């Protein structure tokens, strides 16, 4: 008979292998779904995973787009992962992303139309500060009143969305175009434009920031005392407390870092690819980043790969819609499968199946 047995230690092999296996299984199950929809599964999977990078027609455009789409995901996910490791659950990165964008854009609009090299750096600071501030609400409520940070941070997303709408309709509305919501196009204000650093590569300051964040996070988790505290608090909270690690401090630090990084991502987006403060500015990056963090095993390097992979399914998903007329909901199911298979497979990281003979004792 088959028996489940808890491993003494989580399997290192499966931790690394599972994401790859999950991608393979997603391709298989997704392929079956595409076939049932009457589309050629091989073509669909080629369009999603290969054409954005290798196609002659699209590659030169989609490769840079991949960086543009993945950078905010990676930037946010890196911050979230630090908290997740310490069992501090910031689910409201979307809200911090929005507030960061509003702070950044606010600085730009306040200076408009002056030139000045210092405007963009100020926007960067403001963006990070905005996200940090928004994350401090659940942090302080948790440390002071012991509220649940999952709930508070999530609900603050909806508050942030309302503030965004109010800004797009009121304070930040472009006064030159009466009647229409939405701020000035920051891409047309040189001092505030988060432009491509090298033409045609898609690399803007947000991509650079994502890379820096990954390196810092890696160094912190592996080499710095704070990283050790985070891991200890996550794995053995009691031991951590006896070891003198202040849970309050950890909550503030983890939410603060993830909030600031999400705010930065929002600021780079609104001043670059997004272009302006609009009611519909938030596009779910903050939520998708949660998937990226888990898909990347809460490991900075893994998050880079996961962010690129998810970015790929977005861009490839659009291509397959355009070329094959796959419905957009099929693409969403496909992306959902990825997380589903990963979580299901993670079972074998902690457990193993044992074939045993004879009667159960």
Residue ranges that bind other proteins, judged by CB under 8 A: 56-58, 60-62, 65, 68-69, 165-166, 169-170, 177-181, 185, 196, 199-200, 269, 273-276, 278-281, 283, 315, 318-319, 321-323, 325, 327-329
| Nearest distance, CB of residue 214 and other proteins, angstroms | 22
Q: Which residues contact 108 (CB under 8 A, 6 or more apart)?
A: 119, 123, 186, 189, 191, 192, 271
Least Å distance between CB 272 and other proteins? 8
Distance between alpha carbon 183 and the CA centroid of its chain, in Å? 25
Shortest distance in whole angstroms from residue 321 CB to other proteins = 5
Residue 299 Cβ, how far from other proteins at the closest point, in Å?
Answer: 28
Q: Which one, 5 or 40, has the nearer CB to other proteins?
A: 40
Q: How far is the CB of 11 from other proteins (least distance, A)?
A: 39
Q: Where do runs of H (alpha helix) occur along 112-204?
A: 119-145, 149-169
From the list 143, 136, 158, the residue with the least C-alpha distance to 90 is: 136
Q: Give me the numbers of helices (H) and strands (E) for the chain, helices first please.
A: 15, 2
Closer of 39 and 278 to other proteins (Cβ) = 278
Q: From the CB of 155, what's the least distance to other proteins, in Å? A: 16
- Are the C-beta atoms of residues 73 and 207 closer than 8 Å to each other? no
Q: Which is nearer to other proteins, 180 or 347 (CB)?
A: 180
248: Cβ–Cβ under 8 A, 6 or more apart, which residues? 143
For other proteins, the closer CB: 113 or 200: 200
Q: What share of the chain is helix, strand, coil (3-state, %, to 5)?
A: 70, 5, 25
CA dihedral 249, 251, 252, 258 (to 10 degrees): 140
CB of 317 to other proteins, least distance (A): 9
In angstroms, rounded to a whole number, what is the distance separating the alpha carbons of residues 351 and 344? Answer: 12
Best CA proximity match to 286, nearest among 309, 268, 265, 316: 265
Cα–Cα distance, 187 to 197 (Å, whole number): 14
* C-beta of 18 vs 70, nearer to other proteins: 70
Measured distance CA(76)–CA(262) in Å, rounded: 5
Closer by beta carbon to other proteins, 87 or else 321: 321
What is the spatial distance between Cα 254 and Cα 89, in angstroms, rounded to a whole number? Answer: 9
What is the smallest separation between the CB atom of 57 and other proteins, expressed in angstroms? 5
CB nearer to other proteins: pick between 71 and 255: 71
CA angle 172, 173, 176 (to 5 degrees): 130
Measured from the CB atom, is 87 or 283 closer to other proteins? Answer: 283
Q: Is the peptide bond before 113 cis (omega within 30 degrees of 0)?
A: yes
Shortest reach from residue 187's CB to other proteins, in Å: 8
**Cβ(263)–Cβ(130) below 8 Å:** yes
Residue with tokens 């497979």: 345
């Amino acid at each position: 008979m088959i028996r489940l047995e808890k491993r003494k230690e989580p399997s290192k092999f499966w931790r690394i292998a599972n994401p790859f296996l999950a991608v393979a299984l997603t391709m298989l199950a997704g392929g079956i779904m595409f076939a049932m929809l009457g589309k050629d599964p091989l073509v669909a999977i080629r369009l999603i995973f290969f054409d954005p990078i290798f196609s002659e027609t699209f590659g030169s455009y989609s490769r840079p787009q991949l960086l543009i789409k993945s950078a905010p995901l990676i930037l946010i996910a890196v911050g979230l992962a630090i908290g997740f490791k310490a069992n501090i659950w910031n689910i409201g990165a979307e809200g911090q992303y929005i507030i960061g964008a509003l702070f950044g854009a606010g600085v730009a609009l306040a200076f408009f139309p002056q030139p000045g090299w210092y405007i963009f750096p100020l926007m960067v600071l403001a963006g990070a500060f905005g996200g940090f501030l928004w994350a401090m609400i659940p942090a302080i409520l948790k440390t002071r009143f012991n509220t649940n940070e999952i709930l508070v941070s999530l609900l603050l997303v909806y508050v942030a969305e309302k503030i965004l709408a109010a800004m797009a309709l009121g304070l930040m509305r472009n006064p030159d175009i009466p009647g229409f919501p939405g701020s000035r196009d920051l891409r047309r204000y040189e001092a505030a434009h988060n432009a491509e650093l090298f033409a045609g590569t898609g690399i803007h300051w947000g991509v650079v920031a994502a890379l820096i964040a990954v390196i810092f996070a890696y160094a912190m988790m592996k080499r710095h005392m704070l990283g050790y505290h985070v891991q200890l608090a996550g794995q053995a909270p009691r031991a951590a407390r006896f070891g003198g690690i202040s849970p309050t401090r950890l909550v503030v630090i983890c939410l603060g870092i993830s909030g600031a990084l999400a705010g930065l991502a929002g600021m780079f987006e609104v001043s670059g690819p997004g272009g302006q403060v609009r009611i519909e500015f938030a596009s779910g990056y903050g939520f998708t980043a949660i998937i990226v963090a888990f898909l990347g095993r809460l490991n900075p390097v893994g998050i880079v790969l996961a962010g690129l992979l998810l970015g790929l399914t977005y861009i490839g998903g659009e291509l397959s819609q355009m070329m094959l007329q796959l419905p957009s909901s099929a693409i969403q199911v496909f992306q959902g499968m990825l997380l589903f298979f990963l979580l299901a497979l993670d079972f074998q990281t902690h457990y193993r199946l044992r074939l045993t003979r004879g009667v159960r004792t």
